[in-house]
Amino acid sequence: MESILTVSSQEQGPLCELTKLIHEITDEEKYTNQDMLIRVLRARDLKVQPAYEMWQKWYRWRKDYRADEITEEEMKEHIKTGKAFFFGEDNEGRPCLIVRARYHWPNQFALEETMRYVIYLVEQGVKLADEKHTGQMCVIYDRGDISSANKDGNLIELGKGLAAMLQDFYAERLGAVYILHVNWLYWLIFQAVKPLLNKKTRNKIHILRNVEGLKEHFNPSQLLVEYGGENEFRCPYPERN
């Protein structure tokens, strides 16, 4: 795999130490590539032992869960809801996942199925990010036009699970989250999840007053019209009569 990240002189020593430790377990390139190890080190402030422990947890999870084997066919019922899709990129060139909460129907899928769909989306985002040589993705989380039918009793549990998953298994892959249409309920959930987030992750979360705030982070050509941009693309789902 072609390396995307630049290794600083400060990182070279810890990277060498971590590589030696990991090669005692496996030398499979998809588990030991330099970019992955650098992300783990950066997530643990270049401390080798904590980074090694993080890598071990990630390695066991990848082997057991097989996240990279989740298929579009398996996720087709989720995809057809239109609640999430990729479109455009922010000013840092990071591919953007748009999540529309108004198309999330909590009774339609079990919590584990929803988590699996999120993992599928992150896997797709990682592939796009690597193709673009940015290494990271971003998210627009649109909470506009939600109703009581969209309220999910598992939302706090889901939020905590997502926070842990992103930090433990997708180190340094999330570049930014832009959140629209926040109400008091979201603030309650965010306060419950916030203690689980490290400082780096918290700094990536941008709660915006309105869609105009997105223009600070996106070129208008990379934003849909509904978000104050110029692009008239429409997600084909949910299907309209």
Q: For the chain, what is the mean pLDDT?
A: 92
Model pLDDT, residue 241: 45
> If you average pLDDT over residues 226-230, what whole number do you get?
96
Kindly report the number of other CB atoms within 10 A of residue 196's CB atom. Answer: 14
The residues spanned by each domain of the chain are 9-65, 76-227
Give 76-227's CATH code, choosing from 3.30.2350.10, 3.90.800.10, 3.90.700.10, 3.40.525.10: 3.40.525.10
Model pLDDT, residue 240: 62
Indicate if the pLDDT at residue 107 is higher than 90: no
Indicate if the pLDDT at residue 1 is higher than 70: no
Global pTM? 0.91
Own/partner pairs, 93-96, CB within 8 angstroms, 24+ separation: 93/132, 93/134, 94/129, 94/132, 94/134, 94/136, 94/137, 94/138, 94/175, 94/176, 95/125, 95/128, 95/129, 95/132, 95/134, 95/137, 95/138, 96/137, 96/138, 96/139, 96/140, 96/218, 96/222
In whole angstroms, give the CA distance from residue 144 to residue 161.
Answer: 23
Indicate if the pLDDT at residue 123 is higher than 60: yes
Helix (H) or strand (E) holding 41: helix 34-43
The closest of 28, 86, 21, 65 to 47, measured between CA atoms, is 21
- Quick: pLDDT tens for 36-67: 999 999 999 999 999 999 999 999 999 999 99
Query: Rounded to the nearest 5 degrees, what angle is found at the Cα of 198, between the Cα atoms of 125 and 62?
Result: 45
Model pLDDT, residue 186: 76
Model pLDDT, residue 226: 95
> If you average pLDDT over residues 153-179, what whole number do you get?
88
- Quick: pLDDT tens for 2-18: 788 999 999 999 999 99
In whole angstroms, give the CA distance from residue 227 to residue 180.
Answer: 10
Strands laid side by side in the 137-142 sheet: 84-89, 95-100, 137-142, 174-180, 205-207
> If you average pLDDT over residues 194-221, what whole number do you get?
89
In percent, the amount of the chain with pLDDT more than 90 equals 74
Identify the band that residue 162 occupies on the pLDDT scale cut at 50, 70 and 90: confident
Top pLDDT among 188 and 50 is at 50
Q: Which of 139-148, 200-209, 219-228 shows the lowest mean pLDDT across its residues?
A: 200-209
Model pLDDT, residue 85: 97
> If you average pLDDT over residues 156-170, what whole number do you get?
86
In whole angstroms, give the CA distance from residue 38 to residue 3.
Answer: 10
> If you average pLDDT over residues 205-213, what whole number do you get?
90
Model pLDDT, residue 183: 82
In percent, the amount of the chain with pLDDT more than 70 equals 99
Rg (CA), the chain: 19
